[in-house]
Amino acid sequence: MLSNPFIQAALWCALLSLLAWAISLAKQDASVADVFWPWMSVGSGAIYLLSASPPSPIAWVTLAGITVAALRLSVMVKSRIARGGEDRRYTEIRSSWGRGFGLKSLPGIFMLQG
């Protein structure tokens, strides 16, 4: 079962979502989700690439492109958060969800992105 790349990719995404959620609780900033989600694509792509035997050169080039895009997006989002705090969307969700936002954000934001 764990040899199935779909299951491996789903586990990767779930673990990364849990890590991002834990960091968001510590920082009181759900914008962390936007920094982590591109890396779910990179990890999933790497899992599928490594499950191919042998991986083709175009697969490696594609994964490299996804990785560069993920790095660029993560750095951009992280710098935006550093300048302005939590993204407005998450601030609105936080206020509308009320008490228990931290717990509600795991399935409602972080696992949903995973």
pLDDT at 1 over 80: no
Contact 13, 114 (CB under 8 A): yes
Query: Is the previous residue joined to 54 through a cis bond, with omega within 30 degrees of 0?
Result: yes
Neighbouring residues of 48: CB distance < 8 A, sequence distance ≥ 6: 5, 9
Q: Residue 49: how many CA atoms within 13 Å on its side-chain side?
A: 17
Q: What is the mean pLDDT of residues 49-72?
A: 95
Q: Name the domain count of the chain.
A: 1
pLDDT at 113 over 90: no
76-109 residue pLDDT tens? 999 999 998 898 999 999 999 999 999 999 999 9
The whole-model pTM stands at 0.88
Domain that holds residue 9: 5-113
